[in-house]
Amino acid sequence: MNLTPLPRSFYEGSALEIAPAMIGTLLVHRVPEGTLAARIVECEAYRGPEDLAAHSAGGRRTRRTEVMFGPPGHVYMFRLYGMHWAFNVVVSPEGCPHAILVRAVEPVLGADIMAARRGVEPGSVRLTNGPGKLCAAMGLDAATYGADLCAPKAGALPEIFLAPGAAGAKVCRSARINVDYAGAWARKPWRFYERGNRYVSVRPRD
DNA sequence: GAATAGATTGTCT
DNA sequence: GACAATCTATTCT
């Protein structure tokens, strides 16, 4: 397994190019109990300011969305329905508020630690088959907001980063989940997932 | 398996 | 004060 951080250049393009490329890569988080790693199997592209489904729609720049307007390769975290966290990767050049929401991952390393955090059986898909679940499992919360995915920590690996995964994932696309409020933008096929992976949070949509 | 209701809080109008 | 890029338990079929 190659646990080397992807370079900053990986994050510099448009969200629509990077989101499919992220399927199959590894999300790595080093926590006190050990190193957690999981394959990204589902994500969604959000491209403000035009995209009305994005939190950065219309160029809305607030304390919460601020990091999306900064340089690529950083982490955008937000709270959902008052009780869950969601993990996003900021992409595209500075000033262009694109982000990619990671919706589901497949545990690769430290599944036992994740299971303990979630209070779920280690082999269960319920561990990480949803944005809120993967954050709870991998220990991602407000403390992760703004983290740099490309910054070596004390001469070693960053605390959190994306690493190349095995090639060959079959990537499918569909409309994004639960963004009905965004009108025509809600129907854009900007959700990407790995075909047949059992961790994908499939739900009927249009 | 599908549908439904209830939880619970930071952020912005 | 309203609402949200959700999850879980529960109640059906």
Domain count, chain A: 1
A201: three-class secondary structure by DSSP: coil
| Amino acid making up residue A18 | I
CATH of the domain at A152: 3.10.300.10
> Longest C-alpha distance within chain A, in Å?
48
Assigned domain for A205 exists: no
pLDDT in tens, A101-124: 999 999 999 999 999 999 898 889
Q: Which two tokens stand for residue A20?
A: 């499919």
Q: How far from A186 is each of A39, A54, A175, CA to CA, in Å? A: 26, 10, 7
pTM over 0.75: yes
Nearest alpha carbon to residue A177 among A190, A168, A164, A166: A190
Residues 69-98 of A with CB under 7 A from strand B: 78-79, 81-83
Give distance CA A180 / C1' C11 (Å): 27
Assigned domain for A53 exists: yes
Give distance CA A126 / C1' C9 (Å): 14
Assigned domain for A204 exists: no
Q: Which domain holds residue A114?
A: 8-194
Assigned domain for A69 exists: yes
pLDDT under 70: residue ranges of chain A: 153-155, 203-206
